[in-house]
Chain A
Amino acid sequence: MNFEKIDHILKEHEYKHSAIISIMQDVQGIENYLPEDTLRYISEKMELKLTRIFDIATFYKTFSLTPRGRHTIRVCSGTACHLGGAVKNLEQIQRTINIQEGETTDDRMFSLETVNCLGACALAPVMVIDEDYYDAVNPGDIEKFLSPYRSEPER
């Protein structure tokens, strides 16, 4: 872990305890997850109890304590997407890359997540891979959407 970057983030937020959520969001931005030694480091530097940090890390859905894959697939499970067949899309993705929601493939290529609602309900059902949105998805499209990411060189 790059402690210099973490120090910079802590400094930016003036080590304020009330800013801990923002700090953790920024720190997660570095490696896309929160390694344990990083959280211990933050706890020490901020003089903030490790239990509080873990409380936050496990309470809020955005935080991950395990490494994520190179590409994150987020399937929107908002109401409009659910009605439009999000579950069938999710199942098809699970079959295609052989992992369950919340898991990462063995080759660390994909992580699969669901998200409550992306607020793009008029485009339902929606799926997002990294930053790319896919609208009106149906199970037959899944393979076509995923395959370009497999061959993409590492970011």
Chain B
Amino acid sequence: MKQIKTISDLEDLRKSILKQRDPEKITIRTCLSTGCRAKKSIKVISALEDELNNQGLQEKVEIKRTGCHGFCEMGPIMVIEPANIFYRQVKSEDIEDIVFETILKGNIVKRLLWKDAGTKEYTKTEQELPLYKKQKKHISYNSGKIDPTDIEDYIVADGYSALCKALSAMTPAEIVETVVASGLRGRGGGGFSTGLKWRICSVAPSDIKYIIANGDEGDPGAFMDRSLMEGDPHRIIEGMIIAAFAIGASRGFLYVREEYPIAIEHLSIAIQKAEEYGLLGNNIMGTGFDFNISINKGAGAFVCGEETALIISIEGKSGTPRSRPPYPAFEGLWGKPTIINNVETFGNITQIILKGADWYSNIGTTGSKGTKIFSLVGKVRNTGLVEVEMGTTLREIIFDIGGGIRKNRQFKAVQTGGPSGGCIPISKIDMPVDYDSLREAGAIMGSGGMIVMDETSCMVDIARYFLNFLLFESCGKCVPCREGLKQMHYILTNICEGNGERGDIETLAELGNFMISTSLCGLGATAANPVLSTLRYFHDEYLAHIYDKKCPAGVCKNLFEYMIDETLCNGCTLCRIRCPEKAISGEKKKPHRIDTAKCIKCGICYNSCKRQAVIVI
């Protein structure tokens, strides 16, 4: 047991760990996060382990089981250090080649390298990948590099140094003012100044105060919090301890979605290890400061991402929001002053403390400081997590980092901010991404989901999708949200089914604006954003649905037909064989036809055709 009993013990421990480690040792970084696990990385890693043992290399080569590398689509990922060789989509069958060629001979296995779909060029190392090259990894730096279940990995990576500095060289008030000066704003969606929240809470008169980390990442399309919790859990815990010291709290809660079992597992291990090492619990590093953290599992209610609902959920009730003020910083958990921040916000704290407010506030734009992790997904070529400086333009993120749109289709919109956000069109592609620009454009930063859409995405359907989502998640407490969502969803469903009428658009806008001004909590007040932003930028598509009874994107079932372009069809018969309704006819090597009366529009033919001969009309 390496209990840290004084501040200086940590540095001694770090030195002793480093002494035992050989920086030149071949290390294979493998990902065990949700994405790679879904692609069977556990099996691949065990095959690697077996092969290394068979070759007697187990002492010479280290397998490091890390968190998310950010390029989830390419999983399972392996990075071989120190050469930094990046292999993607590794299967058990590839292990022999990796060991014999790369580990033993130093050769590259070309077929496992990442290949640019556009230029057809191979990339050899991780740092040269376009997805990573333009990123500024400050918060997600450790994720994919360290073993999240090994506290010593985190300590070697300067972990808990910020806590040392905070406890030994700063007063609580100095910490609060440093966070205020850094300009950090909440990463969960609202974008409120983190420092101000802390300041309010620190002066609130009470002996008992609480810290809550919000890991209830509910926005569909966002998974940066999951990756951070899975890949670098100590960073969040360290941020929470510093916050607790700054405001005088002795208990903390981590509220994590139940859908994230690996995040819960890694955080639990991290809490246990931090306690064992004397970095968490009673008398932290011998300073006399006590702070304990426990984990609460969410139970599948989106509204619990809202702070007042989350607090009520921790109290063991159904999580319905209440009106603010009083804000949680005055009156939070069990009526006591409470800081509730998103996990990514806590992830920012350590570097602010270590490098100072000036350093931090030099990154980003006037109103939005630091870096932000986005989950870049949808119809973009390179999907995954990207961390960029605030103020980076959408074009840089989607085209330079994301490699543009798949299948050479056209960019149509990017959706940010989840169900509270909006869709941003091509005309705003050069807009800098920060809190204020996004809000001006009718969207919000939200937790950082960025879902890219192309011409096969129907904007009316997307608006309906989000309303449908919220309809089920609305807690039902306030009338505007409960009834407004129902009515808007009813109208949009009619439009999507071909029953739209004159006046629908005006009613939608009226209802939407009414909900914004009268709803109880953020869920209702922002629920209309997806509708209003698509009305604003994609008005024509609404008109096509309502008046022409057409869905140009081929999504709304009643408003399009599949057809085979006979000039493109080579009669391969694949669609005919796969059609579950036997709606396709045609002889081998001759153009096929779809019987639209039989077609159920399941899309199997559309997805099967290798020549894109199945088209939407």
Give A124 to B457 CA distance when docked, in angstroms.
14
A residues adjacent to B (C-beta < 8 A): 16-22, 24-25, 52, 55-56, 59-63, 77-85, 88, 91-92, 95, 115-124, 126, 133-135, 138-140
Q: State whether B301 touches A79 (Cβ < 8 A).
A: no
Q: Identify which of B218, B296, B457, B604 gathers the most chain A CB atoms within 10 Å of its CB.
A: B604
How many inter-chain contacts with C-beta < 8 Å in the A-B complex? 159
B221 within 8 A of A: yes
In the bound assembly, the distance between CA atoms of A88 and B302 in angstroms comes to 24
8 of the cross-chain contacts (CB-CB < 8 Å) are A56-B316, A56-B318, A79-B378, A83-B453, A84-B378, A117-B223, A123-B39, A140-B608
Q: How far is the CA of A22 from the CA of B475 in the complex (A)?
A: 20
* The 10 A-B residue pairs with the shortest CB-CB distance in the complex, in nearest-first order: A133-B38, A61-B300, A78-B220, A60-B299, A59-B318, A119-B223, A122-B72, A117-B220, A79-B221, A62-B300
Interface residues of B in 161-199 (CB under 8 A from A): none
Q: Does B115 sit within 8 A of A, measured CB to CB? A: no
Of all chain B residues, the one with the shortest Cβ separation from A128 is: B38
By beta carbon, the residue of chain A nearest B415 is: A79
B556 → chain A closest CB, angstroms: 11
Interchain CB contact (< 8 A) of B220 among A60, A116, A122 = A116
Contact check, A122 vs B73: say whether CB atoms are below 8 A apart: yes
Q: A61-B301, A116-B218 are in contact. Are A95 and B580 (CB under 8 A)?
A: yes
Given contacts A122-B35, A122-B72, contact A77 B299 (CB under 8 A): no
B38 and A18 contacting across the interface, CB-CB below 8 Å:
no
Q: Given A22-B297, A119-B260, A121-B222, output 14 extra A-B contacts at Cβ < 8 Å.
A: A21-B313, A25-B258, A55-B317, A55-B318, A60-B318, A77-B220, A79-B377, A79-B415, A117-B220, A121-B221, A123-B35, A124-B377, A140-B604, A140-B607
| Smallest beta-carbon distance A129→chain B, Å | 12
Chain B contacts to A: CB under 8 angstroms:
34-35, 37-39, 71-73, 75, 217-223, 226, 257-260, 296-297, 299-302, 313-319, 375, 377-379, 383-384, 415, 418, 449, 451, 453, 457, 462, 465-466, 469, 473, 475, 578, 580, 602-604, 607-608
**For the complex, what is the distance from the CA of A138 to the CA of B578, rounded to whole Å?**
12
Distance to closest chain B CB from A74 (angstroms)? 9
Closest B residue to A79 by CB, please name it.
B221
Contact: B451 with A79, CB < 8 Å? yes
Q: Are B603 and A88 in contact (CB under 8 A)?
A: yes
Contact A63 B223 (CB under 8 A): no
CB pair B299–A140 under 8 Å, yes or no, is: no
In the assembled complex, the Cα of A123 lies from the Cα of B75 at a distance in Å of 9
When distances are taken between beta carbons in the complex, the residues of chain B under 8 Å from A62 are: 258, 299-300
Give Cα A2 to B77, complex, Å.
Answer: 43
Residues of A close to B34: CB separation below 8 A: 118-120, 133
Residue numbers in A under 8 Å from B418 (CB-CB): 79
The residue on B at minimum CB distance from A95 is B580
Interchain CB contact under 8 A, B220 and A79: yes
Q: Which residues of A contact B72 (CB under 8 A)?
A: 120, 122-123
Least CB distance from A142 to B in Å reads 9
Given A83-B457, A85-B603, A138-B603, answer yes or no on A120-B316 (Cβ-Cβ < 8 Å).
Answer: no
- CA–CA, A17 and B315, complex, Å: 8
User: B17 CB to closest chain A CB, in angstroms?
Assistant: 32
- Contact (Cβ within 8 A) A82 B465: yes
Which residues of chain B come closer than 8 Å to A122, judged between CB atoms? 35, 71-73, 223, 375, 377, 383-384
A78 in contact with B221 (CB, 8 Å): yes
CB atoms of A119 and B317 under 8 A apart: no
Which residues of chain B come closer than 8 Å to A135, judged between CB atoms?
38-39
Contact in complex: B219, A117 (CB < 8 Å): yes
Q: Check A119/B38 contact, CB under 8 A, given A60-B299, A83-B457, A139-B604.
A: no
List the B residue with the shortest CB-CB distance to A20: B316
A56 to B607, CA, bound (A): 42
Q: Are B451 and A80 in touch, CB under 8 angstroms?
A: yes
Cβ contact within 8 Å between A139 and B258: no
| Nearest B residue to A17, CB-CB | B316
* B465→A79 contact, CB < 8 A: yes
A91–B35 CA distance with the chains assembled, in angstroms: 25
